[in-house]
Structure 1
Amino acid sequence: MLISDVRPWGGPRSDVVLDGSRIASIRPHSPSAAPSLDGRGRLLFPAFSDVHVHLDSTRIGLPFRPHTGGPGVVAMMENDRANWRSAEVPLVTRVADTLSRMIAHGTTRVRSYAQVDLDCGLEKLEAVLAAREKFSAQAEVQVMAFAQAGILREPGTYDVLDAAMRSGATVIGGIDPCTLDRDPKGHLDAVFALAEKHQAEIDIHLHEPGHLGLFSTDLVIERVRALDMRGRVTMSHAYDLGSISESVSRRVIDDFAALDIAMTTVAPSAAGQLSLLDLVSAGVRVGLGEDGQRDYWSPYGNCDLLDRTWQLAFTRGFRLDSHIELALAVATMGGASIMSHSVPRLSGVSDRPGLAVGDRADLVLVDGETPTSAVMDRGRDRTVLHNGVVVADGLEVVTP
C-alpha cells in the first residue's frame, strides 16, 4: 500500500509505503505517485493505545441517565451492581458497539478490564471476550480479569478469578490492597499466585492516598524484585504517589524504571501525581486510558483517546509543543509498549516513535496543522489502519 501526502508527527509531506503489516519506506511526497490511500496532507501518527478502559460497564450509545454513584470504590461498585443488568441494550451489544467506536476514532490497541465476582460471575468477561473476537481484524485487545469488589471481601472470588483466567483473560487485576480487602499481604499473595499459575501479567488499581498508597506500592515492588516479575506488572492510577516528598517520588520512579514496572493514567486532575516528564525521562513505560465509558461509575468518556490526550496535557499543565507531543506519544506508543514489550519504552521526552521503517502499520491520519493543533482541535477527518489495513474512515468502522 502507498499512503501519499501525509506528515509523520507533523513533519514534511511524505509518502509512506507499507509491505503487509509493516512500514517499508518513508520518502518525500511525489505528486505523481498513484496512491492506494490519499492522505490529503493530513497528520500521520501511530494509532492510539487505550490501556485502561472498562468496556464491561459501558453505556455509550444509550440514553443519558443521571449519575447515581456515591463516593468511594465500594459505593460505586454497588451502584454498578444495582443497575448494569437493567440497561436498555444487552451487555454484549453495548460492549461491541463501544469497542467499534473506539476503533473508529483511532484506537487499535486496547487493554480492557472485565469485572468478575460473585455478582456477575463470568458474564461481563464473556461480553468483552466476544467483542475482542468480533473485532479481531480491526484491533488488538487484551482482557484483564478484575475483581473490582476485592478478592478477600467475598469468599469464592479467587475461584471466579481463576476460572476467568482459564476462560481467556490474559492479565490479572488487583485493587487497593489495604483499603478494600484490608489485608494487603493476602490480597497481593492471591494476585501474584494467579499470575504465576497462569503465566499472566498483573495490573494493580491503586486509589490509596499518600503513605498508604506508598506502602501498597512498596509491597508490589518487593514482590516484583523477589519473584523476578520484571516487565510484567503495571500500576494504574496511583494518583498520590508524588505527594509525599521529592526524594520519595524519585525513589519510586527509579524503582519502577529498574524493575520495568509500568504505569497507566486516565489523566485525572489530582495534584499529587508523579511527574509524567520525570517518569518518561527515567524510562518508565507510561500509557493512557479513558477508564469508564459513560457508565455507572462516571458520566465521562466518549471513545476518543485524542480527547483524553487533550485532558492529559491540560491536567498536567503542558503548554510547550514538545510536552503536548509527549502526551500524544504516551497515548500511542507509550501504551503499545505496555501491551507488548517488543515495542520499546519511550526513550525520553522528545521521543516520537512508531513511524519508522519496520514498525507495525497501526496508524491514524488526522486533520490538523501541527501535532499540538491536532490535540487542541481533535479533528474528525480520520482514517485508521491496523496491521496495514484500513479499518475505519470518517469515524466509521470499515467492514472487511
Structure 2
Amino acid sequence: MTTMTRALHLFNVRMADGQRVSVSVADDHIEALGPQAAAPAGTIVEDGGGALLLPGFVEGHTHIDKSNWGRPWYRNEVGPLLTDRISNEREWRRTSGHDAAAQSLALSRAFVQAGTTRLRTHVDVDTDARLRNLEGVLATRQTMRDVLDMQIVAFPQSGMLVRPGTVELFASALAEGADVLGALDPALIDGDPVASLNATFALAERSRKPIDIHLHEPGAVGAFTLKLLLDRVEALGMQGQVVVSHAFCLGALPERERDALLDRIAHLRVALLTSAPPSRTVPPLKICRDKGITMFGGNDGIRDTWSPYGVPDMLERAMLIGLRYDLRRDDDLALAFDCVSEAAARGCGFADYGLRVGARADLVLVDAQTVAHAVVARPKRRLVVANGRIVARDGELVDVA
C-alpha cells in the first residue's frame, strides 16, 4: 500500500438536504464540513461538480471467504434443505481448490470500488477447514487495512455442538484475530438450543467478544430460541453486544407474541440484521425502528454455492430492502439507505462514522438528486474516499492493493 493522502479538500458537493458544502480532510478524518470555503494551502483539491455527498457504505453481513466472485460460473444443483447447502458447500470447498484468501480479496476490492468502507464478514470455522478460511480473510484484512475497516465473525456453518472440537477451534479463532463470535440455529442445526446457547455465551464471556447469531429457525421454534437467547443476554449483562441476523421468525409470529419479543429486544439493545430476502418472512422494519431497535442490512452470501445472486454494491442492497418492505416515498427510501449506513455502523459497532467533523473520512460522491434517487438509480460512484484517501474514481479503483 502507498502512503495515504494527508490532506484533501472537496468543494461543490451537496448534502442530502440540498445544501452545497465543502469538506476538508486532514489525515484520516473530516476536519471541516460546511458552507463553501477556500481550500487550505497545500491541499489536494477536488471539484465535486455538484454531486451528492454520502457517507461510505457499511456492509453489515456477508461471507467474503466463500464467494465465487470473479471465477467461472458455478452450476448450482444443490438440494433444497439448509443441511443440503451446508454439506454441498463443505465438499465443494474441499475439492475445488477454493482459496478464501484470493476470493475474499477480490470481493473486498469490489466492495471498496462501489463505496463500501466498513464491512462485517462471517467466516467459516469447522473441523474440516479448521482455521484455514479465517487465515485467508485475516490476510485480506491486513492487505486492505488502510481503506476497509473489516470485522470478522468466526462462524460455525456446520454447527457448534454436532461436530466435536468446534468449540475449541472457536476459542483459537477468537485468539487469532476474529472480532465476533458467531452462532447458527441452535435448535435445528445443533439439536439442543439450551446446550448450544450455553456453549456460545460461555465462550463469549470468557473471550469478552460480542455475538452475531444466524437465526433462520421459523415460527415457534425460532421464537423459542430467541427467548432463550434474550434470557442469556439479560443474565450475563450483554446488552448492546448481540446481533440476531435474519430472525425470520419475527416476520411470521402473531402480532402480540411478536411485539412482546420486540419489546425485549429493544430493552436489551439487541440489534437485528436483514438481507431482505424476497422468499422468506422478515422482521418488520418500521415497527422495529419505532420501538428503538437498531435494524440494518447486508448482502449475506454473494455468488457462492448457496446462491447465484448478490453484488458488492450497498446501494443495490438498499434498493432491495426498499422493494422487500414496499418503501416508495423518498423519506422511506432514506430508511433503506440508513440500513446500509448509519444503522449498520451502529449495529456493528463501527466507531467514528458519518458526515460530521471528527468522523473518519469515508465519503462517496454520486450523480443523484437525492438519497432516494441514489438508491433507485445506483449511479456509478464518481469518487470514493476511504480513511481520508481517494480509492476509486468514476467507478474504477485507484491505488488500491
State the Cα deviation string for residues 134-189 of structure 1 (Å, max 9, x = none). Answer: 10001110111111111111111111111111111111111111111110011101
1:395 positional shift: 2.9
Q: Matched residues in 1 for 2:131 and 2:396: separation?
A: 30
Q: Where do 5+ consecutive residues of structure 1 fail to align?
A: 344-352
In the superposition, the TM-score normalised over structure 1's length comes to: 0.93
Is residue 70 from structure 1 mapped to residue 79 from structure 2 by the alignment? yes
* 1:18 Cα deviation from its structure 2 partner: 2.4
Paired with 1:31 and 1:157, the residues of 2 have a C-alpha distance of 58
User: Compared with structure 1, are the counterparts of its residues 77 and 382 closer, same or farther at alpha carbon in structure 2 (3 Å cutoff)?
Assistant: farther
Q: What is the CA–CA distance in structure 2 between the aligned matches of 1:26 and 1:163, rounded to whole Å?
A: 43
Instruction: Give the CA deviation at 1:252.
Output: 1.9
Deviation at 1:270, TM superposition (A): 4.7
Which among 20, 26, 29 is matched to residue 33 of structure 2?
A: 26
Distance of 1:381 and 1:117 partners within structure 2: 38
2:125 equivalent among 116, 126, 138: 116
Matched, 1:379 2:379: yes
Residue in structure 1 matched with residue 20 of structure 2 by the alignment = 13
Once the two structures are superposed, the pairs formed by residues 227-376 of structure 1 within 5 Å of their partners are 227-270=236-279, 272-340=281-349, 342=351, 354-376=354-376
Aligned mate of 1:141, from 146, 150, 168: 150
- What is the DSSP-based 3-state SS (H/G/I as helix, E as strand, rest coil) of the residue aligned with 1:240? helix
Which of these residues, 109, 113, 116, is aligned with residue 107 of structure 1? 116
What is the TM-score normalised by the length of structure 2?
Answer: 0.92
Q: Is the 2:124–2:133 contact (alpha carbons within 8 Å) kept by the matching residues of 1?
A: yes
Residues 186 and 196 of structure 2 are in contact (CA less than 8 Å); yes or no, is this contact kept in structure 1? yes
Deviations 1:18-65 (A, max 9, x none): 233332332333699996222111111111111110011010001112
CA RMSD across the alignment: 2.0
What is the CA–CA distance in structure 1 between the aligned matches of 2:196 and 2:312, rounded to whole Å?
A: 32
Q: Which deviations, in whole Å up to 9, do the C-alpha atoms of 1:230-261 show, x marking residues without a partner?
A: 11100000122132222222222221221110
1:346 maps to none
Task: Name the CA distance, whole Å, in 2 between partners of 1:265 and 1:175.
Answer: 15
Q: Which amino acid aligns with 1:296?
A: T
**CA deviation after TM superposition for structure 1 residue 199, in Å:** 0.7
Alignment check: 8 A CA contact 2:115 2:364 kept: yes
Asked if the contact 2:115–2:381 (Cα under 8 Å) also holds between the matched residues in 1, the reply is: no
* Alpha-carbon distance in 2 for matches of 1:22, 1:32: 16
- SS in structure 2 of the partner of residue 113 of structure 1: strand
Q: Distance in 1 between matches of 2:391 and 2:348?
A: 20
Task: Call closer, same or farther: CA 1:40–1:86 in 2, change over 3 Å.
Answer: farther
Amino-acid identity (%): 36
**CA 1:141–1:233: 2 relative to 1, 3 Å:** same
Amino acid at match of 2:59: D
> For structure 1, which segment, 265-274 or 187-196, has the greater mean C-alpha deviation from structure 2 after superposition?
265-274
The CA distance in 2 between the partners of 1:134 and 1:32, in whole Å, is: 32
